Amino acid sequence: MNELRKLHAILDGWRRVAFTNRPEVSTHEVQGYATVLQRYSLDRINDAIRLHMADPERGRFFPKPADIVHQCRLHAPRPERVSVDEVLPQLPAPEPEPNAPRITELTEQAAARYRSIMDQTEGSRSDKQAAATAAWKADMRAGDPNWGRDKGRRWP
């Protein structure tokens, strides 16, 4: 019962501050608000009403219980972020194949090659990118002679 009086005081206080033309909040209204807002603390309800009043669109009208719930949910404290390592068990790293080069090594080599091509090429940035792309395609064709070809299909 004490909580209802406090909620009545909060609602009536905001009514006096911002909505002087609205009639006093009745006990039936307070009971309706209390039923909907029972999961939230009075401090949180007061903060939600304050945030509702600061909203230029919705704040022009006295908050309905749904407006207060909306603000409570919108400004709810966020749970702490959990890292993937805490959720998943620690899995051992897969064993690399004995003679296979690592993908990162290949990527670093390719990036260094194409950077050097871009540095050596004269002209605009698009000219440099075109030269690097042509070198990349040549490397791909060297590994697979049919790479980039239609493989016998005819286009209409």
| Alpha-helical regions (H) of 61-102 | 65-74, 84-87
Q: Is the pTM of this model over 0.75?
A: no
Spatial contact of 132 and 114, defined as CB atoms under 8 Å apart:
yes
Question: Quick one: pLDDT band at residue 144, thresholds 50, 70, 90?
Answer: low
Could you report the per-residue pLDDT of 9-30, keeping only the tens digit for each? 888 888 777 776 777 888 888 8
Residue that is written with structure tokens 């005819």 in the block: 154
Cβ neighbourhood burial of 11 (10 Å; 0-12, 13-18, 19+): buried
Spatial contact of 81 and 96, defined as CB atoms under 8 Å apart:
no
Alpha carbons 116 and 133: distance in angstroms, whole number? 13
Question: Comparing C-alpha atoms, which of 51, 75, 74, 77 is closest to residue 63?
Answer: 51
Could you report the per-residue pLDDT of 39-80, keeping only the tens digit for each? 888 889 888 888 888 888 888 888 888 998 888 888 877 666
Domain boundaries, the chain: 2-74, 101-143
